[in-house]
Amino acid sequence: MGGRGSVVGGREAVGLPSACRAGEGDPVLTHDQALSLLSAAREESAKLGVPMSFAVMDPSGHLVALVRMDGAPWISTDVAQGKAWTAAAYGAPSAAQKAKMEPMPNFASAVTTMTGGKFTPQTGAVPVYSDGTLVGALGGSGGTGQQDEDVCAAAVAACGYSVD
């Protein structure tokens, strides 16, 4: 089976992107790749014993996949999405925006308002790069900001991507 299609019911579904690994295919994470990132993040979080939520965004800040581990705070899904959106928007860890915005709280509030509450300049998300191209972002919430970011960075590396 050649071409650019996924196998559905034993046949190639023309027009659907194939699941691909880091460095292959279009510069956007597939759903399967996003699920792999979530799985890796859950494994890293379990090692810490801290239940978290994780969100994967595409480079434009659209949600690709989301998971909330048993025991994670209910609000953590929204926070993880905001952190991931921020990392995707800037192609940098969300902590970079936290540091940048600390001396400008009024501006940070204005950007948060202008983006419909999506801009979340808090530590806990990293961009996902494949061969130097931004393909998405992974955000976490439920631990400390640093725990969230460390887990996300480890998951990105475990899946063969980089954070820069």
How many structural domains are present in the chain?
Answer: 1
**pTM, to two decimals:** 0.83
- For residue 8, tell me if it sits in a domain: no
Name the DSSP letter for residue 49: T
What per-residue confidence (pLDDT) applies to 16?
42
Strands 63-68 vs 125-130: parallel, antiparallel or unpaired? unpaired
Q: Is residue 4 part of a domain?
A: no
Write the DSSP string, 65-86.
EEEE-TTS-TTHHHHHHHHHHH
Residue 14 in any domain: the answer is no
Q: Provide the pLDDT for residue 27.
A: 84
- In angstroms, the first-to-last Cα distance of the chain is 34
pLDDT in tens, 116-135: 999 999 999 999 999 999 99
Question: How far apart are the C-alpha atoms of 8 and 56, rounded to whole Å?
Answer: 24
CATH number for position 110: 3.30.450.150
- Whether 55 is covered by a domain: the verdict is yes
Q: Per-residue pLDDT averaged across 27-31, rounded?
A: 91
- pLDDT tens figures, 60-111: 999 999 999 999 999 999 999 999 999 999 999 999 999 999 999 999 999 9
Domain that holds residue 76: 20-158
**pLDDT surpasses 70 at 29:** yes
pLDDT in tens, 131-154: 999 999 999 999 999 999 999 999
pLDDT of residue 109: 95
d(CA 111, CA 121): 10
